[in-house]
């Protein structure tokens, strides 16, 4: 079992979790192919982390299965937008930590 971690990435953890739950338990090759056509910022990022985890394991994508896909909340960047009469409104820019674990697939799995 090998893993890859991407920390402090500027994507909402709530939105990234939706994508991570879809690929959990999938074959790595199939997951990367399906994420390629998912119109979401987090999909491209998670696809790269899966490819990194597969490379860390020393496997080919068709030989690997995603055992765990986790997205944790990172620190929130707090910024301000100027508003009328010299006031300001806060803007919260969330960050996320993405963790992917892969393992070698059994011979019967596809």
Task: Tell me the sheet residues that pair with 97.
Answer: 72
User: What residues have CB less than 8 Å from 99, skipping those under 6 apart?
Assistant: 3, 4, 5, 68, 69, 70, 71, 72
Q: Which residues of the chain have pLDDT under 70?
A: 108-110
Q: What is the pLDDT of residue 110?
A: 56
The alpha-helical segments, DSSP class H, found in the chain are 13-23, 28-36, 41-57
- Tokens 């997205």 identify what position? 71
Is 24 buried (19+), middle (13-18) or exposed (0-12) by CB count in 10 A?
A: middle
Q: What is the pLDDT of residue 109?
A: 58
Question: What 3-state DSSP class applies to 2?
Answer: strand
- pLDDT tens across 5-16, in order? 999 999 999 999
The pLDDT, as a whole number, for residue 107 is 75
Q: How far apart are CA 109 and CA 86, in angstroms?
A: 62
What is the pTM for the complete model shown?
0.91
Which tokens hold the place of 40? Answer: 């979401």
Angle at 33 between CA 42 and CA 71, to 5 degrees: 30
């Amino acid at each position: 079992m090998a893993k890859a971690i991407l920390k402090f990435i500027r994507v909402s953890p709530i939105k990234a979790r939706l994508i991570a739950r879809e690929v959990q338990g999938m074959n790595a090759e199939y997951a990367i192919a399906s994420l390629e056509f998912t119109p979401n910022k987090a999909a491209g990022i998670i696809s790269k982390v899966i490819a990194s985890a597969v490379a860390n394991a020393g496997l080919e994508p068709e030989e690997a299965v995603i055992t765990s896909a986790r997205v944790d909340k990172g620190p929130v960047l707090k910024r301000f937008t100027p508003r009328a009469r010299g006031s300001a409104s806060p803007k919260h820019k969330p960050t996320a930590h993405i963790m992917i674990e892969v393992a070698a697939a059994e011979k019967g799995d596809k």
